[in-house]
Structure 1
Amino acid sequence: MVAIIGTALHWSDILVLLLYFLLILGFGVWSSCKNRGSVGGYFLAGRSMHFIPVGASLFASNIGSGHFIGLAGSGASSGIAVAGYEIGAVHWLMVLGWLFVPIYMKAEVFTMPQYIKMRYGGERIRVYLTCLALMLSIFTKISVDLYSGAIFLQQALNWNLYAS
């Protein structure tokens, strides 16, 4: 087994990362300028995208460093049975989409708080659900993704955990 002696990033690695981030930023700016002016344009890309990029976007927004670190570690310690949860989720997400997408499309809403406001009335319930979703996202998903990403950088590049 060959030991990795140098763990610093080479200039070509930094260049590739910089080009990647510039490409993503440029695509985001171009996309936001193209679909500007409507909520449907923002949330649904103007209803002009094929289902493959939409599915890839849903998949990419669900997968994060928490999956790479957590599921890989659980799989290494417990075996392939850990994948059962993710494989089972595919079927249930399809069922939920089959049930709820027609309701949302008929109501012409794009978010769950928007639907709840339309269904039950009142601005307070929409604001409450929006704040609840943001807080849950910040305290569960985002914090776990940041921490597991820092663990990955610490292990892969031998960086300080807090600097990562």
Structure 2
Amino acid sequence: MNFSLGFLDTTIIVGYFAVVFLLAWWVTRQERKAKANSYGSSDYFLGGKTVGWFVIGASLFASNIGSEHLVGLAGSGARGDMAAGQFEILAALILVLLGWVFVPFYIKSGVFTMPEFLEKRYSSGARTYLSIVSILAYILTKISVTIFAGALVFEVLGVPFWVGAVLVVLATGVYTIFGGLRAVIYTDMLQMFILLLGSLSITFFALQA
């Protein structure tokens, strides 16, 4: 079943993408202006290590709540399959373990990524191997699901599935590649508020129906 978009719907969607891209552009511009002569890989990949705790927490929250949850897990729950909730319960436990045990160790080691740590501990071959496995696993188990769920939403709106999938990839890739981690973090914070507002609104109206 397809739904037609009205003027207000189109305005909100276009406005949302405009705000996301403008925020990413502004954050990147401010950071590069502040570090005109010293902008390097640490600033691009780690946001200059100057991002506050609330922004990091909001980004972590938004990064873990995507279309696969709002479309996939929520749909499973609506059908009565509450077992899907274990996905998030276990994820919460792992995040606590990551934050309290592993992150301090990574910081002390002075590494940006887990493959980089393996290179320091073992060899460059171990780093390359884990990088390839991680990328393939992420594409097959995370990115593909997110793109599929996002494309389904576009398909409901009358946009062909593959067009929707390409739009999801392009929209995410543009501000990620050009903006670096800081741009991603701040756009994630914006999306956290939108996700919360949208999810709470859907829950309220669904229970009222």
Q: TM-score range by the shorter chain?
A: 0.7 to 0.9
Q: Deviations over 1:37-87 (max 9, x none)?
A: 223222332222221110111121222211122211221223544324312
- In the alignment of these two chains, the number of paired residues is 158
Summarize the Cα distance change of 1:94–1:74 in structure 2 as closer, same or farther, 3 Å threshold.
same
Q: Cα RMSD (Å) of the superposition?
A: 2.5
In 2, are the aligned partners of 1:117 and 1:125 still within 8 Å (CA)? yes
Query: Which of the numbers 7, 10, 19 marks the counterpart of 1:14?
Result: 10
Residue matched to 1:3: none
Give the distance between the partners of 1:151 and 1:9, measured in 2 at CA: 15
* Match in the other structure for 2:85: 83
Distance across 2 between alignment mates of 1:62 and 1:143: 15
Q: Which residue of 2 aligns with 1:131?
A: 132
1:67-146 superposed matches below 5 A: 67-122=69-124, 124-146=125-147
Greater RCO, 1 or 2 (C-alpha within 8 Å, sep 6+) = 2
Matched residue, 2:179? none
Return the alpha-carbon distance in structure 2 between the equivalents of residues 62 and 53 of structure 1.
14
- C-alpha change, 1:142 and 1:84, in structure 2 (3 Å) is closer
Report the counterpart of residue 190 of structure 2 in structure 1. none
Aligned to 1:53: 55
Q: 1:152: which partner in 2?
A: 153
Query: Which one has a larger percent helix, Structure 1 or Structure 2?
Result: 2
Identity %: 38
Query: What letter corresponds to residue 10 of structure 2 in structure 1?
Result: I
Larger Rg: 1
What is the CA-CA distance between 1:132 and the residue it aligns to? 2.1
CA distances 1:82-128 after superposition (whole Å, capped 9, x unpaired): 32431232123112221111111111111111111111132x32222
Q: Separation in 1 of the partners of 2:126 and 2:90?
A: 32
Q: Give the alignment's TM-score, normalised by structure 2.
A: 0.65
SS at match of 2:20: helix
